[in-house]
């Protein structure tokens, strides 16, 4: 029986004591009984480097020193960054307001005006007040006796001039019995008799000379009529000009006074002064806008529709669109400081702002009042936090963001513009100068992809805030973690945690870190476990979260997520996938792999087999041959080939043909963590030494035969343990791991319990020789002074087999050469 | 409440010329007929002068700016047909809305003459102010002719002023009738009625939609002055009978 028997001295030396399989956290060492007793922690634990980078990035005032916060998800980056920024921003000045106003000279190019904080809203209110005042004052002025008299004088003058001309013509015509008639088509001249138009039959009965005479008179009068009518538009234009001039004069009296009042309120601001000057001119030119709502003349069928939404749509031209104001009230603004804006859905419109349109009688129209601020506008003068992945996945946002940062100004752009999809009435508002610190939060992969693929990235995001995945597990960090657990519970109004519950969470933090000496910094995962534990504690009507609630939460999480794992392991326990957990076999070994599906990862044993024969020194990795093996796996196989070639039968050519297979593996195989198992199987096949099937092996090997650390050691052990447990623990079963992985062991408690009862063992090996002895129960064997391995050892048997293959190959080559020579002689 | 000596009109006679200004007059006539609950007779008069003109060899019309077009009998007939269809359609829609019975005819002749000829005692006449050309004397001369038969005459402006007060000029003769009619119109339109004296009307500066008064009041104020004031407001005017006595006229 091989050496995995605990009686075997090799096995006894290599087996790890149960206490080393899981580094437990002693609740007593935490020095509290409940987290209700301890202070909360108000900082991000273990992220000194990242926070220092953010602090630097927010203080340095040069172009391109924007921040990319990279690190694992659920590490509390967003919350920590926000907390940090809000704290810092509170001490910084409130940025200026930005408003858009009508550009009266070019309405499609609205003007942007920068105003001291709070002034934008005041100006908006003042302009509204102005319009309200003028709505009442202008119509009243235009209804005044003075205006009406002056207007009537113009109209009378016009009508008198017109009537005078007609009267003169009428009088002239009457002398000749010719009348002027108003017809649907215009004015006409006709011969009269007794004040009535001469009937055609009467006219036709006249002598030709009489008719000619009448026609001549009419012809002569027609010239006069034509002259009068031609002059009418001139008179009408003159009348309109006089009315406009009168309107402007009357409007100026009212408008000038009102504008002066507003100008006095904002004295000293040149931009407002200039704007009000434009408003004054436009109001005077368009005073009749204020009269129309009262007259409601011929509003047309869509009048009611037009009135919807805006009280007086025509007055929108005088509105103030306060794009950004950080100051609703002055006192509040003083407390708020610089803005810290986070955009959860960073579409192009939400980042850069957008220009709304509304449908008007089937057409899309817009104006400067429909310009909406984006996150960049709101964050201008402060900080903008964006999720890098979302920015990159939203069309055009990344390029637009870079453009704004590069040009230091915000220019409106829409997806439709970018794609030239629609052509409708649109605006080109003034761009707005940009001074913002952008903090992109994303995964490391994104950071490095951007750094390598986007040449602008380095210039625009010069500060890297790299968040740690794990922190060292020490007394201090454990104490800090305990406070962190307590803080989460308190901030979310959860039940307090007992010391034992906290200890279990710290152990879980180490497990999540896959390292007994480290703690994960993905506190979001721990927060979820605390929330679930709170649920179970509440369901159990307890007044605090205890260790059984944490265990229940962990068990339930595992149960919910491990359906695929259970089905996978079930194929082994039902002997569909062949994995032995007892007995011995030559050239066959249990390897261990980790399967990752989404968030789930679990260990699973796989049978690895090796077959050998005489050949040309080639080890065939069947996985690679069929392109199921990844490059790292292939590298592992090449390394073990090299180990064989350089350790055994050095004086002769390598005359081995060997094949290695992951049996019943139908997916890809990647990583070199099975390379030691493959080598053991190969040595077993060469030495004809049976391997103990009660054991499973993980670990990579180098050319020198040293066993190296691998990842996922806990899951791998647990995967094999679950198979063995399902089949019944024999006391001979266990897992061989690299000694370098001992510090990563944070095994489940049931495995630790089984180990403490000698039902299951974990062996730590440093070399191939240690491993092969453990697996075969045979000594590995060292080379003696004569250069030969000790007789009966695995190494001696391997070397003998390789020498035998070499001899066979030599003799086969000789006989082949002789046969060839004989053939030639016969020819 | 109507004064006891006032009898509601029996019919509403709407007189239209062949010009295009008919919609406002139709609306006003329909509203009046609906208010007093009577039928509406529309006369679209085909002016005889125009028909005669169209038969002359040199019939030409000069439009604004001096544009010349030839007037033919066929063209004029087509124009009358078109106008009559437009009027019928507008009448049908307005009367359907207000549940008023209506008829339309297209007599030939002179507009005022045809309306006067069709009026029966107790009817109300509605017509465009533009149909009564000339100064105050000519306009109110025509109104006087109409009121010799009609109970009331409504003159409709060419431009609508739908928003504004209903003003009754109520210090003169027949004031009670004018005020009662004004209140009836005000109730229907949902606006407050302002009862003012003639001097107050001169100074009234708020928008006016309708003026209700008596012919006698107009004669007292001066026909030209009243017409000027009326055209300045753009309001519709409802005139009821009641004239100055001969001594009063002489006194004035």
pLDDT at A797: 94
Q: Which CATH architecture has domain B161-252?
A: 3-Layer(aba) Sandwich (3.40)
DSSP state of A96: P
B172 — pLDDT class (breaks 50, 70, 90): low
A contacts of B64 (beta carbons < 8 Å) = 186, 229, 232-233
- The beta-carbon contacts of A530-533 under 8 Å, at least 24 apart in sequence, are A530/A485, A530/A488, A530/A489, A530/A494, A530/A497, A530/A505, A531/A492, A531/A494, A532/A556, A532/A557, A533/A497, A533/A501
Report d(CA A685, CA A691) in Å as an integer.
9
Q: What is each CA distance from A810 to A611, A650, A807, A816, A819, in whole angstroms?
A: 21, 15, 5, 10, 14
Asked if B52 and A196 come within 8 Å (Cβ–Cβ), the reply is: yes
pLDDT at A423: 61
Mean pLDDT of A526-538: 95
pLDDT at A324: 92
Asked if B61 and A144 come within 8 Å (Cβ–Cβ), the reply is: no
pLDDT at position B252 over 50:
no
**A358 three-state secondary structure:** strand
pLDDT at position A12 over 70:
no
Q: What is each CA distance from A785 to A457, A647, B200, in whole angstroms?
A: 63, 16, 139
Q: What is the pLDDT of residues B57-84, one digit of tens each?
A: 888 888 876 678 888 888 889 888 988 9
Mean pLDDT of A500-508: 95
Beta-bridge partner residues of A115: A97
The rounded mean pLDDT for chain A is 86
Using an 8 Å Cβ cutoff, are A797 and A686 in contact? yes
Q: How is A663-678 classified by DSSP, letter by letter?
A: TT--S-B-SSTTHHHH
Report d(CA A467, CA A469) in Å as an integer.
7
pLDDT at A310: 38
Mean pLDDT of B103-112: 88
CB-closest option in B61, B163, B207 to A187:
B61
DSSP state of A545: B
Options 3.40.50.880, 3.30.230.10, 3.30.1330.10, 1.20.1090.10; CATH for A566-794 is 3.30.230.10
Options 3.40.50.720, 2.60.40.10, 3.40.630.10, 3.40.50.620; CATH for B8-155 is 3.40.50.620
pLDDT at position B231 over 80:
no
pLDDT at position A409 over 90:
yes
Report d(CA A248, CA A255) in Å as an integer.
10
Mean pLDDT of A137-150: 81
pLDDT at A311: 53
Number of residues written out for chain A: 827
pLDDT at position B151 over 80:
yes
pLDDT at position A295 over 50:
no
Q: What is the pLDDT of residues A565-614, one digit of tens each?
A: 889 889 999 999 999 999 999 999 999 998 888 777 899 999 999 999 88
Report d(CA A234, CA B49) in Å as an integer.
30
Report d(CA A160, CA B135) in Å as an integer.
12
From the candidates A144, A183, A201, A208, which should be mutated to test the interface with B, based on the most B CB atoms within 10 A?
A183
B contacts of A199 (beta carbons < 8 Å) = 52, 55
- Percent of chain A clearing pLDDT 70 (strictly above): 92
Asked if B52 and A197 come within 8 Å (Cβ–Cβ), the reply is: yes
**A222 three-state secondary structure:** helix
The rounded mean pLDDT for chain B is 81
Which chain A residue has its CA at the smallest distance from B56's CA? Answer: A200
CB-closest option in B50, B65, B228 to A183:
B50
Report d(CA B139, CA B122) in Å as an integer.
21
Place of tokens 């070499």: A806
B174 — pLDDT class (breaks 50, 70, 90): low
Hey, what are A408's tokens? 């230091």
Q: What is the pLDDT of residues B152-162, one digit of tens each?
A: 899 888 766 55
- What phi-psi label fits residue A298: left (phi over 0), alpha (psi between -120 and 50 degrees) or beta? left
Nearest to A712 by CA among A672, A676, A749: A672
pLDDT at A307: 41
Report d(CA A703, CA A795) in Å as an integer.
16
Report d(CA A274, CA A294) in Å as an integer.
31
- What phi-psi label fits residue A542: left (phi over 0), alpha (psi between -120 and 50 degrees) or beta? beta
- Percent of chain B clearing pLDDT 70 (strictly above): 86
Mean pLDDT of A352-362: 83
pLDDT at B173: 59
Higher-pLDDT residue of A498 and B129 is A498
A contacts of B205 (beta carbons < 8 Å) = 143-145, 148
Most confident of A65-79, A142-156, A532-546: A532-546
Q: Is A22 exposed, middle or buried (0-12, 13-18, 19+ CB in 10 A)?
A: buried
pLDDT at position A298 over 60:
no
Mean pLDDT of A265-279: 92
Report d(CA A775, CA A689) in Å as an integer.
9
Mean pLDDT of A662-688: 88
Q: What are phi and psi of A541, to 5 degrees?
A: 55, 40
Nearest to A47 by CA among A361, A330, A468, A464: A468
Task: Show which residues on chain A lie within 8 Å of chain B, measured between beta carbons.
Answer: 143-145, 148, 152, 181-191, 196-201, 203, 215, 218-219, 222, 225-227, 229-230, 232-233, 294-298
Report d(CA A582, CA A695) in Å as an integer.
8
Q: What is each CA distance from A512 to A508, A601, B155, in whole angstroms?
A: 6, 12, 94
From the candidates B16, B49, B133, B235, which should be mutated to test the interface with A, based on the most A CB atoms within 10 A?
B49
Q: What is each CA distance from A342 to A47, A299, B181, in whole angstroms?
A: 21, 47, 68
pLDDT at position A302 over 70:
no
Q: Return the minimum-mean-pLDDT range out of A3-17, A118-132, B172-186.
A: A3-17
Q: Return the minimum-mean-pLDDT range out of A56-65, A206-215, B241-250.
A: B241-250
Higher-pLDDT residue of A271 and A812 is A271
Higher-pLDDT residue of A762 and B174 is A762
Nearest CA-CA distance, residue A360 and chain B, Å:
25
Place of tokens 């791998």: A716
Mean pLDDT of A427-441: 94
Which residues are CB-contacts of B90 (< 8 A; sequence separation ≥ 6)?
B22, B23, B26
pLDDT at position A13 over 80:
no
Nearest CA-CA distance, residue A256 and chain B, Å:
24
Q: How is A109-175 classified by DSSP, letter by letter?
A: SPEEEEE-TTHHHHHHHHHHHHHHHHHHHHHHHHTSHHHHHHHHHHHHHHHHHHHHHHHHHHHHHHH
Q: How many CA atoms lie within 13 A of B124 on its CB side?
A: 30
Report d(CA A731, CA A729) in Å as an integer.
6
pLDDT at position A366 over 50:
yes
Nearest to A95 by CA among A355, A436, A373: A436
A contacts of B49 (beta carbons < 8 Å) = 181, 190, 196-197
Options 3.40.50.300, 3.30.830.10, 3.40.50.12780, 1.10.443.10; CATH for A67-95+326-466 is 3.40.50.300
Which chain A residue has its CA at the smallest distance from B77's CA? Answer: A184
pLDDT at position B246 over 70:
no
pLDDT at A819: 56
Q: Which sequence positions of A are flagged as catalytic?
A: 673, 716
Place of tokens 């997806």: A415
Place of tokens 């003068």: A381
Q: What is the pLDDT of residues A698-741, one digit of tens each?
A: 999 999 999 999 999 999 999 999 999 999 999 999 999 999 99
Q: What is the pLDDT of residues A328-345, one digit of tens each?
A: 544 444 557 899 999 999
Q: How is A562-596 classified by DSSP, letter by letter?
A: -HHHHHHHHHHHTTSS---SSSEETTEEEEEEEEE
As a CATH number, domain A31-43+469-561 is: 1.10.8.60
A10 — pLDDT class (breaks 50, 70, 90): low
User: Quick one: CA torsion of A266, A269, A271, A272, rounded to 10 degrees?
Assistant: 0
Which runs of consecutive H residues, i.e. helices, occur in A454-495? 457-460, 475-491
Q: What is the pLDDT of residues A451-493, one digit of tens each?
A: 999 999 999 999 999 999 899 999 999 999 999 999 999 989 9
CB-closest option in B53, B66, B207 to A197:
B53
pLDDT at position A97 over 50:
yes
Mean pLDDT of A688-701: 95
Hey, what are B8's tokens? 């509601």
**A473 three-state secondary structure:** coil
Report the alpha-carbon angle A774-A777-A783, nearest 5.
85
Strand B152-156 and strand B165-169: pairing?
Answer: unpaired
B contacts of A201 (beta carbons < 8 Å) = 55
pLDDT at A422: 62
Place of tokens 């869509």: A302
pLDDT at A98: 95
Q: What are phi and psi of A24, to 5 degrees?
A: -80, 155
From the candidates B44, B53, B227, which should be mutated to test the interface with A, based on the most A CB atoms within 10 A?
B53
A contacts of B69 (beta carbons < 8 Å) = 185-186
* Domain definitions of chain A by residue range: 31-43+469-561, 67-95+326-466, 125-295, 566-794
- The number of C-beta contacts closer than 8 angstroms across A and B is 102
Report d(CA A660, CA A669) in Å as an integer.
13
Nearest to B216 by CA among B180, B169, B179: B169
Higher-pLDDT residue of B9 and B244 is B9
DSSP element (H, E) containing A802: helix A794-826
Nearest CA-CA distance, residue B248 and chain A, Å:
31
Q: What is each CA distance from A823 to A814, A816, A819, in whole angstroms?
A: 14, 11, 6
Hey, what are B167's tokens? 């003003």
Asked if A294 and B61 come within 8 Å (Cβ–Cβ), the reply is: no
Q: What is each CA distance from A707 to A447, A635, A673, in whole angstroms?
A: 34, 15, 10
Report d(CA B131, CA B149) in Å as an integer.
19
* Domain definitions of chain B by residue range: 8-155, 161-252
Mean pLDDT of A201-219: 88
Which residues are CB-contacts of A251 (< 8 A; sequence separation ≥ 6)?
A138, A141, A283, A284, A287
**B153 three-state secondary structure:** strand
Using an 8 Å Cβ cutoff, are B213 and B172 in contact? yes
Asked if B161 and A197 come within 8 Å (Cβ–Cβ), the reply is: no
Nearest CA-CA distance, residue A223 and chain B, Å:
10
Place of tokens 């007189």: B15
Q: What is each CA distance from B156 to A180, A503, B153, B223, B238, in whole angstroms?
A: 24, 95, 10, 17, 9
């Amino acid at each position: 029986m091989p050496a995995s028997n605990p009686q075997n001295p090799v096995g006894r030396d290599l087996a790890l004591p149960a206490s080393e399989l899981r580094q437990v956290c002693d609740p007593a060492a935490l020095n509290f009984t409940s987290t209700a007793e301890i202070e909360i922690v108000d900082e991000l634990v273990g992220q000194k480097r990242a926070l220092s980078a953010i602090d630097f990035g927010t203080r340095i005032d040069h172009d391109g020193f924007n921040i990319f916060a990279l690190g694992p998800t659920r590490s509390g980056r967003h919350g920590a960054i926000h907390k940090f920024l809000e704290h810092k921003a509170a001490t910084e000045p409130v940025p200026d307001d930005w408003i858009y106003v009508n550009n009266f000279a070019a309405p499609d190019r609205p003007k942007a005006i920068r105003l001291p904080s709070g002034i934008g809203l005041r100006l908006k209110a003042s302009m509204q007040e102005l319009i309200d005042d003028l709505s009442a004052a202008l119509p009243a002025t235009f209804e005044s006796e003075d205006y009406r008299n002056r207007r009537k004088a113009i109209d009378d003058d016009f009508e008198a001039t017109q009537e005078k001309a007609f009267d003169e013509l009428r009088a002239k015509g009457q002398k000749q019995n010719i009348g002027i008639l108003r017809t649907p088509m215009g004015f006409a001249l006709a011969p009269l008799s007794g004040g009535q138009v001469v009937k055609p039959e009467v006219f036709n009965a006249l002598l030709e000379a009489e008719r000619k005479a009448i026609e001549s008179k009419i012809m002569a009068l027609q010239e006069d009529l034509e002259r009068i009518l031609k002059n009418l538009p001139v008179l009408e234009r003159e009348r309109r000009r006089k009315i406009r001039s009168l309107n402007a004069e009357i409007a100026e009296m009212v408008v000038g006074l009102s504008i002066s009042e507003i100008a006095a309120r904002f004295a000293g601001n040149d931009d407002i002064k200039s704007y009000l000057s434009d408003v004054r001119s436009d109001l005077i030119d368009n005073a009749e806008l204020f009269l129309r709502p009262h007259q409601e003349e011929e509003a047309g069928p869509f009048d009611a529709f037009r009135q919807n939404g805006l009280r007086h749509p025509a007055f929108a031209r005088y509105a103030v669109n306060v794009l950004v104001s950080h100051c609703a009230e002055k006192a509040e603004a003083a407390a708020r400081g610089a803005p810290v804006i986070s955009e959860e859905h960073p579409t192009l419109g939400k980042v850069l702002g957008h220009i709304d349109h509304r449908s008007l009688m089937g057409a899309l129209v817009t104006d400067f009042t429909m310009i909406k601020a984006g996150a960049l506008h709101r964050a201008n003068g402060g900080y903008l936090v964006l999720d890098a992945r979302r920015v990159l996945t939203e069309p055009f946002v990344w390029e637009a963001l870079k453009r704004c940062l590069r040009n230091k100004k915000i220019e409106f752009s829409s997806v439709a513009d970018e794609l030239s999809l629609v052509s409708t009435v649109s605006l080109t508002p003034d761009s707005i100068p940009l001074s913002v610190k952008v903090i992109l939060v994303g995964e490391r992969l994104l950071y490095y992809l951007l750094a390598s693929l986007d040449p602008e990235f380095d210039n625009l995001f010069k500060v890297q805030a790299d968040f740690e995945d794990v922190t060292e597990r020490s007394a201090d960090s454990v104490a800090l973690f305990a406070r962190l657990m307590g803080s989460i519970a308190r901030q979310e109004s959860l039940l307090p945690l007992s010391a034992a519950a906290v200890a279990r969470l710290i152990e879980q933090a180490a497990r999540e870190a896959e390292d007994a000496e480290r703690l994960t910094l993905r506190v979001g995962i721990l927060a979820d476990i605390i929330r679930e534990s709170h649920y179970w504690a509440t369901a159990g009507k307890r007044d605090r979260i205890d260790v059984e609630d944490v265990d229940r939460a962990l068990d339930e999480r595992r149960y919910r997520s491990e359906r695929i794992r259970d089905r996978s392991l079930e194929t082994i326990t039902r002997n569909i996938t062949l994995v032995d957990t007892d007995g011995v076999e030559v050239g066959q070994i249990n390897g261990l792999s980790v399967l990752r599906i989404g968030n789930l990862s679990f260990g699973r044993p796989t049978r690895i087999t090796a077959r050998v024969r005489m050949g040309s020194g080639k080890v065939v990795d069947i996985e690679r041959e069929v392109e199921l093996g990844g490059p790292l796996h292939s590298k592992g196989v090449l390394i073990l080939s090299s180990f064989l070639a350089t350790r055994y039968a050095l004086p002769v050519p390598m005359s081995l043909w060997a094949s290695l297979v992951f049996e019943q593996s139908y997916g890809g195989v990647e990583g070199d963590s099975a390379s030691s198992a493959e080598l053991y199987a190969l040595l077993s096949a060469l030495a004809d030494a049976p391997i103990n099937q009660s054991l499973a092996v993980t670990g990579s090997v180098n050319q020198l035969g040293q066993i190296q650390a691998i990842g996922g050691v806990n899951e791998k052990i647990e995967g094999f343990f679950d198979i063995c447990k399902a089949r019944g623990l024999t006391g001979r079963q266990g897992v061989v791991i690299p000694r370098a992985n001992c510090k990563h062991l944070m095994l489940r408690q049931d495995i630790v319990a089984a180990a403490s009862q000698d039902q299951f063992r974990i062996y730590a090996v440093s070399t191939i020789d240690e491993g092969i002895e453990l697996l075969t129960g045979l000594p590995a064997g060292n080379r003696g002074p004569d250069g030969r391995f000790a007789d009966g050892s695995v190494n001696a048997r391997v070397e003998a087999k390789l020498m035998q293959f070499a001899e066979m190959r030599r003799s086969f080559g000789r006989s082949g050469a002789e046969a060839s020579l004989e053939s030639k002689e016969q020819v | 409440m109507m004064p006891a000596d006032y009898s509601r009109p029996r019919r509403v006679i709407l007189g239209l010329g062949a010009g295009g200004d008919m919609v406002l007059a139709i609306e006003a006539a329909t509203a009046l007929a609906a208010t007093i609950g009577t039928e509406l007779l529309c006369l679209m008069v085909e002016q005889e002068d125009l028909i005669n003109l169209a038969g002359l060899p040199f019939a030409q019309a000069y439009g604004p700016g001096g544009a010349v077009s030839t007037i033919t009998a066929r063209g004029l007939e087509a124009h009358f047909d078109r106008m009559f269809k437009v009027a019928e359609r507008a009448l049908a829609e307005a009367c359907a809305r207000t549940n008023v019975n209506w008829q339309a005819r297209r007599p030939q002749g002179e507009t005022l003459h045809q309306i006067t000829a069709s009026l029966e005692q107790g009817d109300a006449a509605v017509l465009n102010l533009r149909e009564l050309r000339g100064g105050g004397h000519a306009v109110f001369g025509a109104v006087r002719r109409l009121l010799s038969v009609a109970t009331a005459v409504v003159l409709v402006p060419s431009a609508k002023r739908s928003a504004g007060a209903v003003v009754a000029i109520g210090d003169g003769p027949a004031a009670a009738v004018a005020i009662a009619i004004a209140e009836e119109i005000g109730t229907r339109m949902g606006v407050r009625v302002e009862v003012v004296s003639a001097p107050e009307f001169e100074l009234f500066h708020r928008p006016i939609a309708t003026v209700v008064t008596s012919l006698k009041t107009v004669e007292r104020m001066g026909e030209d002055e009243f017409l000027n004031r009326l055209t300045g407001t753009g309001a519709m005017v409802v005139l009821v009978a009641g004239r100055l006595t001969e001594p009063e006229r002489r006194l004035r």
